[in-house]
Chains A and B, each alone.
Chain A
Amino acid sequence: MNPHEIDLVTASAQRLAPVLPDVAHTFYSRLFALYPDLRDAFPAQMEAQEKKFGDSVAAIVAAIPDFPAFAETSERLARVHVAHRVTASQYAALGPVLVDALAAHDPAWDAATRDAWAQAYDLLAESMQLSARP
């Protein structure tokens, strides 16, 4: 990522900080609508999950500029997801769903911010998959 993209993502994340659980809610709603089979992989009550999701987003964004911290954070996240056997195609499909959820709640969203988030997601998803490969 370039520093400008990192700025955009960081600024967007800061704007979203108060409403991350809402972002999570939007994300999971769309996820389950698109992939009903996934619903069983998650708890019936989603509040705790949505909070965890928000914390993860915040942690990842904060870590991006510091590579060792980012590597560690993405590895941790990867371990959680490996248990659920998330595939590469699923990672690829979920990127736009996540970005749309962010877009829905960020008041200052623009095209550049979207591209920056997409790049950040790609970096994260690839990193998670790399650490999951033995």
Chain B
Amino acid sequence: MGTTTSLDWPLVGRGSDLERVVAALADPAVAVVHLAGDAGTGKTRLAQECLRSAELDGYPTVSVAATDSAAAVPLSALSPLLPDGAGPSGPDPSVVLDAVVEHVRDLGDGARVVIHVDDVDALDAVSCDLLSRLWREGLAVIIATQRTGTPTPGVLVAEHRRGGVLRLEIGDLPRQSVGTLLHRVLRGPVAAEAEHALWTASRGNPLYLRELVTGAVLAGRLDETDGVWVLSGALDVTGGLESLVAERIGVLDAQARTLVELLALCQPLGADELAEHTPLDVLEQLEAAGVIRVVVDRRRQQVQLAHPVYAQVLTSSLPRLKSRRLLLDQVARTEAHGARRRDDVLRVAAWRLDATGTADAETLVTGAELARASHDYPQVERLARAALLLEPDARASALLGEALYEQGLFDEADAVLSEGAAAAGDDVASPASVRIALAHGIVRFFGLGRPDVALAGLAAASEAIAASGEPDDVVVQGRAVLDSMRALLLTQGGRSAEALAVLPAEAPADPAMRAVHHRAHAWAAHRTGDAETAVRVALAAWQEGTDEDQPAGLLHPSGDLMVAALASLELGRPGEARSLAAQGRDVAIAQGVLFQAAWLAWVVAEIDLLGGFAEDASSAFRELAATAGRHGFGQVERLAVLGMAESTSLLGDAAAAHEWLGRAAALPAPAPAFAPMETVSRAWVASVDGDLRTAASLVVEHGRELAARGEYREAAMLLDEAVMWGDAEAAAELPDVVAHVPTPLGNARRLRSQALLSGSAADLLAAAEGFAACAFVHSAATLAAQAAQVLRAEGDPRAAAAAEARARAWADQSPGMQVEGLGSAAGAALLTPREREIASLAARGRSSKEVAADLVLSVRTVDNHLANVYAKLGIAGRAQLAAALGLSEGGSGSVPAARSGRGR
């Protein structure tokens, strides 16, 4: 029974139980170990392990299984206990019984025989009596398993009263054990979403879990990508699962069967309501048998099937017409009760749809709105689609477009919204039309990656409202909504100064749309350098968005945490930044908004990278690239892949960095707002090759462009990179840019540029402090090490030692990454950019002639520079160059200067 693959399923989470049983076997006071639990919890498996342990301890063991068919023939279940050649039947049963007892006595040879009896409730009375005799005469100790809801044999009850039974309840595994089991079975990490899906479906029942996992693996839904197991699509109902559930539920009479099927389709249902059409004793029997359970929800008793997997299996095997009848009957009952509760309209709509494939338009649209309020996008899609099949409806179009977008189906969302707009015609200022225009902007911008079309569409819609002749307040509100969205998209397009100009002074009155205004405000503030405002507005928006009384907004609230995290980083609070981003990611995963979750996962990884944890970031980027790839989120995948390129280059693996960069080229470009990240990644890879000139020029050029557009924070970040690589021009330009970014990190960057220009130890140390204040310890360490070099050269060894000690203290907090100026890279800090360039090429084995050709210089110039380099590094010549620069054997790895982490 069940599917099989080559997966190995160890016994997990039962260690204490196992030990208690083994101890009991040696305890003469214990006659029976009674393992009780639901089907599939692993009682038999546990009993088998106990038996094995007993064997190894030298006990004689026997295993028997009671079945319903064996119960028809007394003693047949215990045939393994019968001496060879003896049969269960005979003229005098007591002769047979005595023979068995003697046989067991011989087998035991002084010790108790351990007898494992599976499903003891199905054992016939004669067998029960025999076992009872064996254990009372001290000849055997029994390990008995029994399914919940079955009657316990009288002899066992009696022994229990005598105190001779050790009873253990074997329940489902807790979540942690499931995590451990999956990791061991699949031999590696499992993506959070996959774990979540398997936990939700199995609820820790080992047998169901096993069936779900093997089914998913065989179907190719659960697959390993880049060292992580990922689930794509839903978990299937396998034949094995069906058999398990059928066996568990057992044979039911017609009434019980109908109730169970009804629950599978419509659960949870009120106990009072069910009692109206189902006799109470039927309900009670099913509850006692563990097939259904009653949950108290806000003082109402709700009935549901005992295990989520029952519903899944039952609905998949229910005949169409029968399910239709059950559903429509339930609809009638709910409506007869007045369909008062908030959820009822939604449920009725869904049931009608399930039953007949349609329902009335109003119910469907209202239901879809309710589904949207709980972010149940698959349900929104179902209901809205069904509504649109009946007639064009602007609200339904808007809802469907949103739902498709949230599930990553961008092309379809685009088509649906276009149709919706066309159907609305001249009615441009209605709330539904505004909503369509809004959703359309989002889909075009974020989904399809067509920013100009998105912005033009929104501007046109806004102007159409202005010209519509509708009353003032309608016009103002409609435009407020659309212009807030324009502002948001402009920020994502890297045009934040424009965004601030377009942003309406007042947020829209519609609470569902306020989030858009807040989001635009937060992003624009952050990117133009006003981090304080950005954090304040973003967190307020998050509070509003997650306030239970508020209706669901257009944007998922987790996005607010994205900008709050990035702005917190700017304010020198990386711990807070990471918490915010991780929180947002977890909320998005829990609500199934995978696209959003992917973006937030990227922010978390970026923060780790900035914090100097290149290894952590690298594994996070890898998982993200795999997940995003599976779901088709091309933009996030590209950023994750670029993140891999950068983190591997920071760890010194040039080959890997190039490979990842190559992969990125094949993926769609992200929104312009994220272009600076891309430039930085490319610059890092250039630096890995020792090509600092290209690295610096990439970031400086882009940085200038950003400054011209008013994206000051972004510009400051890029120019600071160039300063790290020793670019004096960038250092000269940075202060003007950073004047617009009055944040701790902006200040640190300003100090770094000042230190580059003056070269003074005091300035270097001030810059180090500045970065330390933002917890960017790697930069702090690098700057302090440089200060130590300068102080040494100035002949102040005490101050130098002090500076170096500070550098080491900071370096210790940034694991895996070398700090220039400490250890073998000492002295490299003193080289000018030109000297560094020449030195790195020479260290890789290029002759002076070749270097001269590479850089278009005279050989004499190259040799002059090299002489200076040797002097500064305190080495005799070329042979010691690689070691002095901290390059590994064979010239692979990066030039030390390149190892100053970005923003670290």
Asked if B815 and A17 make an inter-chain contact with CB atoms under 8 angstroms apart, the answer reads yes
Q: B15 and A134: CB pair below 8 A?
A: no
> Which residues of A are found within 8 Å of B184, using beta-carbon distances?
123, 126-127, 130
Contact yes or no, A126 B180, CB < 8 A: yes
Q: Which listed residue (B189, B191, B616) contacts A11, Cβ 8 A?
A: B616
> Which residue on B lies nearest to A123, using beta carbons?
B180
> A1, B179: Cβ atoms under 8 Å?
yes
> Which residues of chain A are near B10, meaning CB under 8 Å?
126, 130
Across the interface, A3 reaches (CB within 8 A) one of B18, B53, B180, B228, namely B228
User: Closest Cβ of chain B: how far from A21's Cβ, in Å?
Assistant: 15
Contact of A88 among B18, B192, B582 (CB under 8 A): B18
Residues of A close to B56: CB separation below 8 A: 134
Tell me how far the C-beta of B251 lies from the nearest C-beta in chain A, rounded to whole angstroms.
Answer: 37
Of A6, A15, A108, which contacts B619 at CB under 8 A?
A: A6
Contact of A119 among B18, B179, B227 (CB under 8 A): B179
Which of B189, B613, B622 gathers the greatest number of chain A CB atoms within 10 Å? B189
Let me know if A45 is at the binding interface, CB within 8 A.
Answer: no
Q: Which residues of B contact A15 (CB under 8 A)?
A: 813
List of B residues within 8 angstroms of A122 by Cβ: 176-177, 179-180
The reply to whether A11 and B613 contact each other, CB–CB distance below 8 Å, is: yes
CA distance A106 to B128 in the complex (A): 58
Contact status B190-A1, CB under 8 Å: yes
Per-residue contact bits, chain A 85-120, to B (CB 8 Å; 1 contact, 0 not): 001110110000000000000001010100000110
**Within residues 12 to 48 of chain A, which ones have a CB less than 8 A from any CB in chain B?**
14-15, 17-18
**Please, which residues of chain A bring their CB within 8 A of the CB of B11?**
130
Map CB proximity to A onto B329-352 as digits: 1 under 8 Å, 0 otherwise.
Answer: 000000000000000000000000
In the complex, which of the residues A6, A18, A91, A112 has the most CB atoms of chain B within 10 Å of its own CB atom?
A: A6
Residue of B nearest to A92 (CB): B16
B-side contacts of A1, CB under 8 Å? 179-180, 183, 189-190
Q: Tell me how far the C-beta of B271 lies from the nearest C-beta in chain A, rounded to whole angstroms.
A: 35
Whether B676 is near chain A, meaning CB under 8 Å from some CB there, is no
Interface: A7 (CB within 8 A): yes
Say how far B628's CB is from chain A's closest CB, in angstroms.
Answer: 13
- B12 in the interface, Cβ–Cβ < 8 Å? yes
Tell me whether B615 and A89 are in contact (CB under 8 A): no
The reply to whether B15 and A126 form a contact with Cβ atoms under 8 Å apart is: yes
Main secondary structure of the interface of B (DSSP, over half): helix
Inter-subunit contact B15/A129 (CB<8 Å): yes
B15 pairs with A3, CB closer than 8 A: no
Number of A-B contacts (CB under 8 A): 93
Closest to B12 in A: A126
From residue A2, how far is it (CB to closest CB) to chain B in Å?
A: 4
**Hey, which chain A residues are within 8 Å of B632, CB to CB?**
none
**In the complex, how many angstroms separate the beta carbon of A20 from the nearest chain B beta carbon?**
13
| Distance between A28 CB and nearest chain B CB, rounded to angstroms | 23
Q: A14-B613, A88-B18 are in contact. Are A126 and B191 (CB under 8 A)?
A: no
Kindly identify which residue among A6, A88, A119 contacts B15, using a CB–CB cutoff of 8 Å: A88
A110 touches B190 (CB 8 A): no
A17 to B176, CA, bound (A): 25
Give Cα A103–Cα B763 distance, bound, in whole angstroms.
38
* Minimum distance in angstroms from A5 CB to a CB of chain B: 8
Residue of A nearest to B175 (CB): A119
Residues of A within 8 A of B19 (CB): 87-89
Contact A65 B575 (CB under 8 A): no
A6 to B228, CA, bound (A): 12
Pick the most buried of A14, A64, A127: most chain B CB atoms within 10 A of its CB.
A14
Q: How far is the CA of A7 from the CA of B18 in the complex (A)?
A: 33
* Chain A nearest CB, measured from B787 CB (Å): 23
Contact A126 B13 (CB under 8 A): yes
Complex CA gap A3/B604 in Å reads 13
Scan residues 48-103 of chain A and give those whose CB is less than 8 A from a CB of chain B: 64-65, 67, 87-89, 91-92
Within 8 Å CB of B615, what residues of A? Answer: 10
Among residues of A, the one whose C-beta sits closest to the C-beta of B816 is A14
Nearest chain A CB to B365 CB, angstrom units: 38
Flag whether B121 is at the interface (Cβ < 8 A): no
Kindly list chain B residues whose C-beta atoms are within 8 Å of the C-beta of A67.
Answer: 187-188
A-contact 0/1 string along B220-236, CB 8 Å cutoff: 00000001100000000
Q: How far is the CB of B406 from chain A (nearest CB, A)?
A: 22
Query: Can you name 11 A-B pairs with beta carbons within 8 Å?
Result: A2-B179, A2-B189, A2-B190, A3-B620, A5-B179, A88-B16, A118-B176, A123-B183, A126-B12, A126-B15, A127-B184
Q: Which residues of B contact A (CB under 8 A)?
A: 10-13, 15-16, 18-19, 49, 53, 56, 176-177, 179-180, 183-184, 187-192, 195, 227-228, 575, 579, 582, 586, 608, 613, 615-616, 619-620, 622-623, 812-813, 815
- In addition to A92-B15, A127-B184, 5 A-B residue pairs with Cβ atoms within 8 Å of each other are A1-B179, A3-B191, A17-B815, A110-B579, A119-B180
Across the A-B interface, give the 4 residue pairs with the lowest CB-CB distance, nearest first. Answer: A88-B15, A2-B192, A3-B623, A88-B16
